[in-house]
């Protein structure tokens, strides 16, 4: 296995690294490679060990192709035997290549045209490195904006509305992070409580801090008496997620939460902890009341995810199921300036209390274009029923103009990293639903590529989220509430950040009506 290392230009005279302008300045060298006759299983191991999403395929030291994670997925969907199939059968042959002295813009153009994420760098027919979309995104972030656009993008897409230290989404390269850490790596290695601590404190806890913090939030899960007495009546009038909006408002009123403008950081942090701890209890109680059952009280001896499953199902979950739900909720804590997070920050900018801000966020999440897709993706799998029906079903759906649920994302222009991670979580759980989901995914990617050329439609987080939650025993009407339980941590962290450096969010609008002033007509007799 060959693992790539970063090449870099010489420091400038003032000691700073110059901005990369040619491919040589930002390529990784040597490239991660394998031979065309390598088995898919071995190529997958090479990619995993190198931590890369593709491998350059060579024949007699010359570039012969590229094999990506997407190719491995297609092979798996075709029910191939990874140890028997060779790379040559599944790779993209004769890929576009770059010269080391080509301008960076040439790399951008080639990646955009071919929809690659990695390109080989060749000097006189010899492979000398590889340049990735992530490398180019790093350069893009360094480039100053030469001019400000005059057109307002629909939905304010790409407009920078604020600064945040909580995290970011880099959609072109399929990466997102919380603080300075990869969100996917956090989901793989840390607990939900650890990531909660990170979002509030700016650093991961050590062992003692983690134990104290977990104990602190576990003690805040109970419903206050007034809300507990009113919840049965409220639960008769809506779904658990609809109940949550009212319950959060009642919680803030009962606990006397004052406007964020009038309280200090310590008080706001305490409110954020209370809300993050009690939201799962509210939703589990609302679900059980709606089913005609007595709510199951929280347990302080269980982790957040295990306690949530306990309250929803009334059964203590297995460690495997608790960890799967925990990892899903870690991945949903934050995701850039999505609609609900932005709503929470706008409300906070007015100085309103925490309950008001989170109620606004819940309202935004309730919209079908923002939340609720996991159950719809699972309904699609139910309707398809078998892998042998997938292609026919998908083609008919595309012909009708129907949206294929669980595919495509507003931000990601490549694989959604949350979906890739949850696919592995689903595999660890196993079962016929997981097998069906993988087969449908492989078929859907090919069908969408054929019938919607020029559009890159891969699975988003909702596709495997529903599979994971369903397998762990969470009822479908609780999918969006389960998402909200994780996202509440992100909402409250953004409220705290907004209040710490607050300025009223008051954008302008471009008037497009009839030219004023028009004389006001006098009413007729």
Instruction: Just list the catalytic residues.
Output: 409, 462
Residue whose C-alpha is closest to residue 62's, from 38, 102, 93, 85: 93
Residue 225: C-alpha distances to residues 254, 274, 296 (Å): 9, 14, 15
Which two tokens mark 360?
A: 């606004």
* Residue reference for tokens 């059980």: 288
DSSP lists the bridge partners of residue 170 as: 175
State the DSSP code for 212: H
Angle, CA of 156, 159 and 161, to the nearest 5°: 105
The rounded distance, in Å, linking the Cα atoms of 267 and 227 is: 21
DSSP string, 491-513: HHHHHHHHHHT-----------S
For residues 244 and 283, what is the distance between their CA atoms, to the nearest angstrom? 6
107/112 Cα distance (integer angstroms):
9
Task: Determine contact, residues 375/479, Cβ cutoff 8 Å.
Answer: yes
Cα torsion 215, 216, 217, 220 to 10°: value is 110
Segments in 159-293 forming alpha helices (H): 183-189, 192-201, 207-218, 225-235, 240-254, 265-290
Q: How far apart, in whole angstroms, are the C-alpha atoms of residue 525 and residue 520?
A: 16
Residue with tokens 């019938």: 451
CA angle 20, 21, 22 (to 5 degrees): 105
Query: Do the beta carbons of residue 323 and residue 336 sit within 8 Å?
Result: no
Closest residue by Cα to residue 234 from 303, 149, 316, 295? 295
Radius of gyration in angstroms for the set of CA atoms belonging to the chain, rounded to a whole number = 25
Count the helix, strand and coil residues of the chain and give each as a percent rounded to the nearest 5. 55, 10, 40
DSSP lists the bridge partners of residue 68 as 54
Alpha carbon of residue 114 to chain centroid: 25
Contact 54, 48 (CB under 8 A): no
How many CA atoms, within 13 angstroms, populate the side-chain half-sphere of residue 118?
A: 24
Burial 363-378 (b: 16+ CB within 10 A, else e): ebbbeeebbbbbbbbb
């Amino acid at each position: 296995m060959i693992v790539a290392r970063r090449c870099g230009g010489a420091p400038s005279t003032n000691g700073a690294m110059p901005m990369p302008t040619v491919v040589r300045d930002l390529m990784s060298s040597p490239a991660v490679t394998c031979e065309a006759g390598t088995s898919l299983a071995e190529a997958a191991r090479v990619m995993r060990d190198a931590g890369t999403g593709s491998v350059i395929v060579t024949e007699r030291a010359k570039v012969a192709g590229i094999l990506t994670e997407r190719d491995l997925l297609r092979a798996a969907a075709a029910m191939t035997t990874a140890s028997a199939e060779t790379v040559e059968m599944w790779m993209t042959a004769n890929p576009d290549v770059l010269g080391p002295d080509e301008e960076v813009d040439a790399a951008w153009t080639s990646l955009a045209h071919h929809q690659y994420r990695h390109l080989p760098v060749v000097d006189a027919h010899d492979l000398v490195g590889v340049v990735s979309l992530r490398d180019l995104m790093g350069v893009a972030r360094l480039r100053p904006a030469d001019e400000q656009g005059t057109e307002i993008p629909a939905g304010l897409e790409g407009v920078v509305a604020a600064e945040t230290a909580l995290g970011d989404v880099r959609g072109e390269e399929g990466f997102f992070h919380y603080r300075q850490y990869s969100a996917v790596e956090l989901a793989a290695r840390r607990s939900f409580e650890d990531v909660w601590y990170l979002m509030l404190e700016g650093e991961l806890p050590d062992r003692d801090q983690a134990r104290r913090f977990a104990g602190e939030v576990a003690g805040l899960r109970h419903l206050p008496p007034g809300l507990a007495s009113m919840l049965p009546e409220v639960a008769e009038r809506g779904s658990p997620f609809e109940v949550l909006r009212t319950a959060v408002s009642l919680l803030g009123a009962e606990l006397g939460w004052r406007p964020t403008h009038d309280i200090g950081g310590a008080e706001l942090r305490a409110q954020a902890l209370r809300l993050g701890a009690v939201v799962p209890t509210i939703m589990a109680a609302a679900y059980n009341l709606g089913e005609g059952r007595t709510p199951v009280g929280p347990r302080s001896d269980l982790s957040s995810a295990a306690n949530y499953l306990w309250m929803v199902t009334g059964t203590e979950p297995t460690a495997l199921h608790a960890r799967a739900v925990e990892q899903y909720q870690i991945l949903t804590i934050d995701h850039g300036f999505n609609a609900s997070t932005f709503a929470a920050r706008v409300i906070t900018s007015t100085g309103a209390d925490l309950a008001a801000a989170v109620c606004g966020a819940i309202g935004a999440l309730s919209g079908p274009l923002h939340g609720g897709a996991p159950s719809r993706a699972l309904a699609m799998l139910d309707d398809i029923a078998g892998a042998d029906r997938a292609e026919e079903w998908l083609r008919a759906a595309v012909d009708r103009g129907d949206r294929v649920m669980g595919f495509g994302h507003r931000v990601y222009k490549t694989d959604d990293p949350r979906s890739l991670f949850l696919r592995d979580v689903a595999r660890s759980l196993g079962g016929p639903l997981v097998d069906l989901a993988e087969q449908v995914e492989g078929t859907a990617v090919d069908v969408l590529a054929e019938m919607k050329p020029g559009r890159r439609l891969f699975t988003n987080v909702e596709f495997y989220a529903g599979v994971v939650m369903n397998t762990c025993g969470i009822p479908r009407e609780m999918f969006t509430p389960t998402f909200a339980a994780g996202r509440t941590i992100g909402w409250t962290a953004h409220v705290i950040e907004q209040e710490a450096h607050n300025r009223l969010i008051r954008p302008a609008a471009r008037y497009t009506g009839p030219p004023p002033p028009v004389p006001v007509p006098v009413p007729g007799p």
